[in-house]
Amino acid sequence: MRYEIGFTLVLLLFLGDGLRAQVGPDCKMDFEELTSDSMTHFFATCDLGRKRLFVTGEHHHAQSTNFVTQTYLQYLIDDGRLKYIFLETGRSFSDGLNKYYQTGDQAYLKWLLEVYRRDYPSYHDLYTGILEYSRAKSLPIQFVGVDVEYHTPGAIHSILDHYAALLTPEEVATLRSFCREDLEQKTNREKVDQFREALWQRLASSEVGGEGAKLLEILQGMEDYRRNWGQRDRLMFEKIAKTLERDTADHTAYFSVGLRHLGAKKTALKNVRYYLLKAFGRAEILLSMLNYQHCLRLNGSAIKPVDKKRTTRKRYALERGKEAFDLWITVNGQ
């Protein structure tokens, strides 16, 4: 598998074993092969100041995406400041990953990925690799799900797994019954909605904090899955901003998100990119984009590549100039 990062370039350098990189005055780099060493060289060469948030636009459920994510995170772990990995998922999935990171239980990870329909070797390798690498560096990492709860079975399993102590025996029994039902059916979905609303009302009226507030976030996320694209982007930004603003230490964060959430065209809907740049500015954010060539998703479907010469195409509405991505990572292969 080959990985390239392409931009307009000025200076030519040679990095061992024939690895070639070009670094321009604006800190754009082109790699013929993407490795942890080559990415480390890029960040070491460029004066990034005090970047706090590293954002990558990608296609979900692709083996190449997970490879780049793991390589990127290895650099950030080596840097020693990484604390948060933001996920385009609800809180329920990040709760599960955080539990796995605390226990290292491989059987639990397999169960978690099965529940959320992510039981592919590349996902298992990604999370296992990050755990082993961060533990070797003695660097604790926290996963933070910032999106809505769009996978209801997973949210239900998470509530039973993490928050059963907050529920009545009747509520636990009801949730377990949902686990045996087809929640794609309208009648079952309506039952879940009614249960969610009743549980929300009971918890909200008691002014719970701590674990109760986390459960309320999942319940709200189960309601928010109905929101449109723009509303979801606003919610994701608010959770990211809240986490970063609450952390006063010198920590960094990584966020891998679908490419369409990072469209830069001024006529596009306000999205995650718009809100983040407005709140934090380019001085604190490094934006990357993955451009897939001859790549497949894990389900076997092809990923349509983006032509670098036509970056204003409507599908992604990407612009060059001052709004350009800092890294353009071209992925060749499956």
Chain segment 63-109, per-residue pLDDT in tens = 778 888 888 898 889 888 999 999 999 999 999 999 999 999 999 99
Boundary (domain end) residue, out of 226, 248, 267: 226
Q: How far is CA 314 from CA 269, 270, 282, in A?
A: 12, 15, 24
Boundary (domain end) residue, out of 226, 260, 288: 226
| Gap between the Cα atoms of 303 and 269, Å rounded | 23
- Assess whether pLDDT exceeds 70 at residue 189: yes
| Gap between the Cα atoms of 64 and 332, Å rounded | 9
If asked whether residues 273 and 317 sit together in one domain, one would say yes
Where residue 247 sits, what CATH number does that domain have?
Answer: 3.40.50.11550
**What is the pLDDT of the chain when averaged over all its residues?**
80
If asked whether residues 115 and 247 sit together in one domain, one would say yes
Token code pair at residue 228: 């449109």
pLDDT tens digits along 30-43: 555 566 666 666 66
If asked whether residues 213 and 70 sit together in one domain, one would say no
If asked whether residues 76 and 40 sit together in one domain, one would say yes
Token code pair at residue 29: 């780099």
If asked whether residues 158 and 139 sit together in one domain, one would say no
Mean pLDDT, residues 163-181: 95
Task: Say what the pLDDT of residue 218 is.
Answer: 95
pLDDT tens digits along 262-273: 875 554 568 898
Task: Say what the pLDDT of residue 25 is.
Answer: 47
**Structural domains in the chain (count):** 2
Domain that holds residue 168: 151-226
If asked whether residues 92 and 178 sit together in one domain, one would say no
Boundary (domain end) residue, out of 189, 211, 226: 226
- Assess whether pLDDT exceeds 80 at residue 138: yes
More confident position, 150 or 100:
100
If asked whether residues 91 and 187 sit together in one domain, one would say no
| Gap between the Cα atoms of 118 and 115, Å rounded | 8
If asked whether residues 78 and 209 sit together in one domain, one would say no
| Gap between the Cα atoms of 11 and 104, Å rounded | 44
